Amino acid sequence: MLEFSQHCPVLMTITLLVGAALTPIVSRFRKKLSFLWAMFISLLSFFFCSCATWRLYSEGPISYWLSGWEPPYGIEVRFDYVSTITFLMTGLGVLIIFYSRKYIEHEINEDKFSLYYTLVLLLLCGMVGFSVTGDMFNLYVFLEILSLSGYALIAITEEKLNAMASFKYLVMGAISSLSILAGIALLYNVTGTLNMADMALRLQQFPPILTSYVALVLFVVGFSVKAAMFPVHIWLPDAHALAPSPVSALLSGLVIKVGIVGMIRILYTVYRLGGNINFIPVTNFMGWLAAITILIGAFFAFFQDDIKMIFAYSSISNIGYIVMGISLVSFTQPEKGYLGMVGGLIHIFNHAIIKSTLFLCAGALIYKTGFRKLSDLRGMGKKMPITCGALTIASISIAGIPPTSGFICKWYIILGAIEFGKWYFAAALLIGTLLVFAYYIKIVNAIFFREPNEPITKVDEAPMSMLIPIVLLAIGCLVLGVFAYLPLAVIRPAAATILGLPSTYIPGG
């Protein structure tokens, strides 16, 4: 078992990759098979990921040498505490593929079904590969796989607006990929290696030169675009709102988090706290941008009528929380950044689950009624009680009301901000939360308590294949809030190792 589990970090990526390459071939035999095949592949990958996670918590991080070459000569795949996000990615992937079976009949042309599943598998493959790699160029390769498949998944519906949104995303994404690639090239020339851990060591050995700082800026800019931070968030609302709903759930729940994972890897694995390159000005600046991102996202969400547009703007706002959490660090006293880091990391997990629930619920509403405007969806609560119930739970969670999962992350981030005496960050966060609360109340009010414009007929509950993922995710929102120690147990070692503390670190202990 141990022998086998050591291969898991690479097997879960390879499974998705080969599964995607085989999907067009499989669907040639029978059209219907592509769904079953995608389910099978994602479940297999989820199984491998579970094995790897199990091994991580029993044996410690796994370092896997591709082709058997020791780093820095070959490529190292490193499954560490940050990589546990892949557990979420593959798990959500399974649910979203399951949900897609019925939904895509509604938005996608029938002969593109197999292409859709291929792209979803490729997207998952890119994200998983990105999160487990320990090599800079490998990071870029998987970033390309996931970005390309993301662009195509938005445009797959053949609507004119989708093509525009996808193109906007493509242009912004290409700039960010280019800037990341330039950063990698510069750092390679400074250090002569591509392995992240080795690069970190060699950056400490040489006196810092201007090139390292420029590379850092390029990385931060590149990953900020992928994560949709404030001045470069403009691609997100259209792309996430117009994509087919399961794709929106993937993009909003997971793909933008990839930018955050990238930032964590670059800042805290390669440049490192306490090394000889002080990047605190950069994180401070990111903190300010994050505060603006929170307010801007929440503010614009307030004025939307399209239900998916609200969620898309709210994603921007939530990325702000996460970045604020991970940017609250101190260069010389790593313990000080612990609370903010825990908050930011938990929010990565919670937001992924909450936002997927919201988008899948929105998808179910759109699938059944064909409406996406809040004013048209009035009174749906009585017709589709389960979907709307899940929507309400997720709305309460994202507003951060105590028994649900959204509370704990905001609490930790506020504590982190106070730890640094940045009360204005805490204030921005609270104002953002109030705005969020207001517009989610608006949604709940519209679907449950407002009279419909015209009597609704012929609308009933969404089909089973859509309800199961929605209900499971809604339960997830509640469970992760009530039993908050569960995610905390997973996140604590991650936050501690990111800051360079021992993985068993407990503040004050």
Partner 1 sequence: MKKGVIIFALFLLWVLLVAAVIALPPMGSSETPAYTHVVPRYLEKEVEEGGANNIVTGIILNYRGYDTMGEVTVIFTALICVLAVLGRENIKRHTSKVELSSVEKSVIVKSVVRLLAPFIILFALYIILHGAESPGGGFQGGAILGASVIVFTLTFGFTLGMKKFPLKYRTILESAGPLSFFISGVVALFCGLNFLTYMLPCINHAYQDLVRHLLLLIIEIGIGIGGGTVIGSIFFAMEKVEKE
Among 159, 178, 192, 445, binds partner 1 (CB under 8 A): 192
247 vs 443, beta carbon nearer partner 1: 247
Please choose, out of 36-44, 71-79, 308-316, 361-369, the segment that lies near partner 1 by the rule CB under 8 A.
71-79
147 vs 356, beta carbon nearer partner 1: 147
Residues 117-136 interacting with partner 1 (rule: CB under 8 A): 118-119, 122, 125, 129, 135
Q: Output the DSSP codes for 372-440.
A: -BTTTSTTHHHHSHHHHHHHHHHHHHHHT-TTSTHHHHHHHHHHHHHHTT-HHHHHHHHHHHHHHHHHH
- Mention every residue, 6+ apart, whose C-beta is less than 8 A from residue 4: 51
Query: What's the gap between Cα 23 and its chain centre?
Result: 25
| Opening angle at CA 305, ends 253 and 473, nearest 5 | 30
The token duo for 500 is 């360079």
Among 211, 276, 375, 445, binds partner 1 (CB under 8 A): 211
139 vs 435, beta carbon nearer partner 1: 139
Among 24, 231, 402, 403, binds partner 1 (CB under 8 A): 24
User: Which CA distances in Å does 116 have to 127, 226, 496?
Assistant: 17, 22, 39
Rounded CA-CA distance 139/129 in Å is: 8
Among 215, 243, 360, 399, binds partner 1 (CB under 8 A): 215
Strands (E), 196-338: none
Phi, psi angles (nearest 5°) of residue 31: -55, -45
Site membership for partner 1, residue 74 (CB under 8 A): yes
Three-state DSSP class for 228? coil
Q: Specify whether the CB–CB gap between 247 and 151 falls below 8 A.
A: no
Q: Facing residues of 509 across strands?
A: none
Among 40, 47, 54, 137, binds partner 1 (CB under 8 A): 137
Among 45, 176, 191, 405, binds partner 1 (CB under 8 A): 191
- Shortest Å, Cβ 206 to partner 1: 7
| Opening angle at CA 65, ends 62 and 71, nearest 5 | 105
Please choose, out of 6-14, 246-254, 410-418, 449-457, the segment that lies near partner 1 by the rule CB under 8 A.
6-14
Query: What's the gap between Cα 370 and its chain centre?
Result: 27
Site membership for partner 1, residue 214 (CB under 8 A): yes
Site membership for partner 1, residue 217 (CB under 8 A): yes
- Mention every residue, 6+ apart, whose C-beta is less than 8 A from residue 88: 254, 349, 352, 353
The token duo for 349 is 């997990």
Site membership for partner 1, residue 153 (CB under 8 A): yes
Site membership for partner 1, residue 276 (CB under 8 A): no
Among 11, 267, 295, 352, binds partner 1 (CB under 8 A): 11
What is the identity of the amino acid at 221?
Answer: V
Among 102, 106, 112, 168, binds partner 1 (CB under 8 A): 112
Rounded CA-CA distance 357/382 in Å is: 19
What is the identity of the amino acid at 19?
Answer: G
Rounded CA-CA distance 66/365 in Å is: 46
Q: Specify whether the CB–CB gap between 352 and 257 falls below 8 A.
A: yes
83 vs 191, beta carbon nearer partner 1: 191
Q: Facing residues of 64 across strands?
A: 77
Site membership for partner 1, residue 52 (CB under 8 A): no
Helix (H) or strand (E) holding 484: none
Rounded CA-CA distance 309/306 in Å is: 5
Size of the site for partner 1 (CB under 8 A): 67
Please choose, out of 9-17, 262-270, 381-389, 444-452, the segment that lies near partner 1 by the rule CB under 8 A.
9-17
11 vs 345, beta carbon nearer partner 1: 11
Site membership for partner 1, residue 461 (CB under 8 A): no
75 vs 388, beta carbon nearer partner 1: 75
Q: Specify whether the CB–CB gap between 61 and 80 falls below 8 A.
A: yes
Among 33, 163, 197, 459, binds partner 1 (CB under 8 A): 163
149 vs 314, beta carbon nearer partner 1: 149
- Shortest Å, Cβ 211 to partner 1: 5
115 vs 470, beta carbon nearer partner 1: 115
Among 33, 39, 44, 141, binds partner 1 (CB under 8 A): 141
Site membership for partner 1, residue 64 (CB under 8 A): yes
Site of interaction with partner 1 (CB under 8 A): 3, 7, 10-11, 14, 17-18, 20-22, 24-25, 28, 64-69, 72-75, 77, 109, 111-112, 115-116, 118-119, 122, 125, 129, 135, 137-138, 141-142, 144-145, 148-149, 151-153, 155-156, 163, 166, 182, 186, 188-194, 202, 206, 209-211, 214-215, 217
